[in-house]
Structure 1
Amino acid sequence: MEKVYIAIKNSAFIKLVIIAVVMDTVFGLVRAFRQKKLNSSVGIDGGIRKISMLVSIVFTAAVDVIVHVNFIGFIPVEIRNYFPPNIQELGLAEFFAILYLTYEIVSILKNMTLCGLPVKKMWDMVQNFLRKYTNELPDTLEEDRKKGEL
């Protein structure tokens, strides 16, 4: 278990996921107070999602300790160019951490927009990117648009 703790402690990506989960929760709380209702960031579904992300990172870090696999090849070179030069390997935990981090950043931007912070243009760029390149949009996005919240 000590090796798993060290793997988690030494991973910048996992630390960023933890920070993003906390940020998303804080902005989700602010949004909930502003709208006077729970939302996907602070309700039971959001809590389950966040806990599941963190638990899965712990388990994938344990797998990384047992089986050493390098997933750096799955990350496009254009994205890897933004990584610090010392990152030459990407274990399973870091690979999932990048996916979770991406999801949390989208959720943070959505919550910031719905809290009234001046990030609307950035949020619109993210939405357009998601529409263009994926079939995935953050949960409740279309419902929020219909209600006039976005």
Structure 2
Amino acid sequence: MSERRIYLDPDRRDPRSRKIDVRASRWYATVTVDRDEYVYAATQHGRSAELPTAYTQAVDRARSASIDRIYYDGYSGGFVWGSGPSWITLFAQFSHVETVVEALRAAELDHDYSSSTPSPPRSLFPSTTGLPPASASLSAALISTHHHVLS
């Protein structure tokens, strides 16, 4: 897997364009939504650039479950990410990168934090305990991708 960039806005030459960057490491891929210039432009025009609470909560739960899954697979290193509206970072197994990219694209462009992907039984992956049904949040969509390797 090589590095790649997916542009979310029609004019990819516009520096304010939102992008999804995928970067491979030895054990997993880092998938990051780069909203930095988009956020800067919004605040300069008096618009709020804050992410909806449902979005940030779903991303936080998905990130936690992804990290747990990667540790379960044998990785023993650390993870680095920031908080705030400029950068959204998730970590994914290589086989689930496309699903994570699509979920982040839908969340960013369509404000869709849900998934029609059914989730396997929660007992297969302890970190999903207490999460809403798969149709209720982006995190369930992203977490469900990590279950398929267990079945």
Question: Which TM class, normalised by the smaller chain length?
Answer: 0.3 to 0.5
Larger Rg: 1
**Alignment TM-score, normalising by the size of structure 2:** 0.33
Return the structure number with greater helix share: 1
**Alignment TM-score, normalising by the size of structure 1:** 0.33
RCO comparison, higher one (Cα < 8 Å, 6+): 1
Return the structure number with greater strand share: 2
